[in-house]
Amino acid sequence: MAIVSRGFRGRPRAGGDRLPPGQYLVEDFPVLSAGPTPRVPADRWEFAIDTEAGETRRWSWEEFMALPQERPAVDIHCVTKWSKLDTHWEGVSLDVLFEDVESAAEYALVHSYGGYTTNLPVEDLLDGKAWIVHRYDGEELAPVHGGPARLLVPHLYFWKSAKWVRGIRLLNEDWPGFWESAGYHEYGDPWREQRYEGD
Amino acid sequence: MTADHLDGNALAGPLAELFAVDVTAATGRCASCGLAGPIAALHVYGPEPGLVGRCPGCEEVVLRLVRGPGSAWLDLRGALSLRVTLPSDGKTR
């Protein structure tokens, strides 16, 4: 005999098994901001990867746009508890950007125009798990959502998907980013509810 | 561009939870540009994921305050100093 009958499961939550614990669904796209919105014209934009050996690989906007483009459709989860399903983006896989980068570093510190930073393991940027995106829902990415380009790492809480991304510094030691040094979790897995330091 | 931030008075309640004095009345000096002024004059972004107080002169971060369940984190590395006015005899009444 089943100890817990199916009747005790209640109504399934909207979003079903795609909604991590503690999250609720939104249809709009909330904007959270830790500072003024940078306005970076494409002709002044560049993206760079700095290695632990001090080498730098740079892309201008034109060079970046000439790279193979992908169209990830993903669910995103904000640490402030909203989740949005089936978001559509266009951009370049980090696997493509790392192709010519020689590095054995385990840690990445992502930095943005405007000074924002966030840290994550390099392995979370590779193998089809992360992109630099410049279009959302068929349109150019708006500055309030991180345009001209933002990082997209949908398997981690969305503060890791740095808006206005400018570059990635590869490091041998983990270095906490903007929110990670002010109480938020260093990794931020929504499925393990890693919201705050120590979760 | 419209102002997308609050003024520093938005920090009064959250900081009162941590400090016995009203920190928004204290004079903070920005570690980036050296500008000194009341914490209440900071440009404040948030409240989620956390409150970010930026210098009204250079927009660098002066103060960050994150309130989680059971803990608060206050980062003042962007402030060179906080000057708090107190009674001359060192006793609070």
Q: How far apart are the first and last CA of chain B?
A: 46
Contact A32 B54 (CB under 8 A): no
- Residue B26: give the domain boundaries: 6-83
Walk me through the domains of chain A, giving residue ranges and CATH numbers: 43-189 (3.90.420.10)
A112 or A11: whose pLDDT is higher?
A112
pLDDT at position B18: 85
- Over 60: is that where the pLDDT of A7 sits? no
Q: How large is the ipTM?
A: 0.87
Which tens digit of pLDDT belongs to each residue from B46-80?
999 999 999 999 999 999 999 999 999 999 999 99
Contact B68 A195 (CB under 8 A): yes
Residue B90 lies in a domain: no
pLDDT at position B91: 59
Residue of A nearest to B68 (CA): A196
A81 shares contact with chain B (CB less than 8 Å):
no
Q: What percent of chain A has pLDDT over 90?
A: 91
Residue B1 lies in a domain: no
Residue A180 burial by CB count (10 A; 0-12/13-18/19+): exposed, middle or buried?
buried
pLDDT at position B3: 72
pLDDT at position A138: 97
pLDDT band at A10 (very low <50, low <70, confident <90, very high): low
Which tens digit of pLDDT belongs to each residue from A121-153?
999 999 999 999 999 999 999 999 999 999 999
B31 shares contact with chain A (CB less than 8 Å):
no
B62 shares contact with chain A (CB less than 8 Å):
no
| A58 touches A47 (CB < 8 A) | yes
Residue B23 lies in a domain: yes
pLDDT at position B2: 57
Q: What is the mean pLDDT of residues A42-58?
A: 97
- For the record, the structure tokens of A138 come out as 């068929």
Count: domains in chain B:
1
CA–CA gap between residue A61 and residue A72 (Å, rounded): 20
Q: How far is A34 from chain B (nearest CA, A)?
A: 5
pLDDT at position A152: 98
pLDDT band at A2 (very low <50, low <70, confident <90, very high): very low
- Over 80: is that where the pLDDT of A19 sits? yes
Residue B70 lies in a domain: yes
B49 shares contact with chain A (CB less than 8 Å):
yes
CA-atom Rg of chain B in angstroms: 13
pLDDT band at B87 (very low <50, low <70, confident <90, very high): confident
Which long-range CB contacts under 8 A does A180-183 form with residues at least 24 apart? A180/A118, A180/A119, A181/B75, A182/B50, A182/B64, A182/B65, A182/B66, A182/B73, A182/B75, A183/B50, A183/B66, A183/B68, A183/B71, A183/B72, A183/B73
- For the record, the structure tokens of A91 come out as 């951009």
Which tens digit of pLDDT belongs to each residue from A59-91?
999 999 999 999 999 999 999 999 999 999 999
pLDDT at position B90: 60
- Over 70: is that where the pLDDT of A9 sits? no
- Indicate the average pLDDT of chain A: 94
Candidate from A33, A36, A183 with C-beta closest to B66:
A183
Which tens digit of pLDDT belongs to each residue from A160-181?
999 999 999 999 999 999 999 9
Contact B49 A115 (CB under 8 A): no
Contact A182 B66 (CB under 8 A): yes
Residue B93 lies in a domain: no
Q: What is the mean pLDDT of residues A50-59?
A: 98
Candidate from A35, A159, A181 with C-beta closest to B54:
A35
Residue B67 lies in a domain: yes
Candidate from A79, A179, A183 with C-beta closest to B71:
A183
- Over 60: is that where the pLDDT of A41 sits? yes
pTM listed for this prediction: 0.90
Residues 114-173 of A with CB under 8 A from B: 115, 159
| A173 touches A147 (CB < 8 A) | no
Residue B16 lies in a domain: yes
A183 shares contact with chain B (CB less than 8 Å):
yes
- Over 50: is that where the pLDDT of B1 sits? no
pLDDT band at A1 (very low <50, low <70, confident <90, very high): very low
B52 shares contact with chain A (CB less than 8 Å):
yes
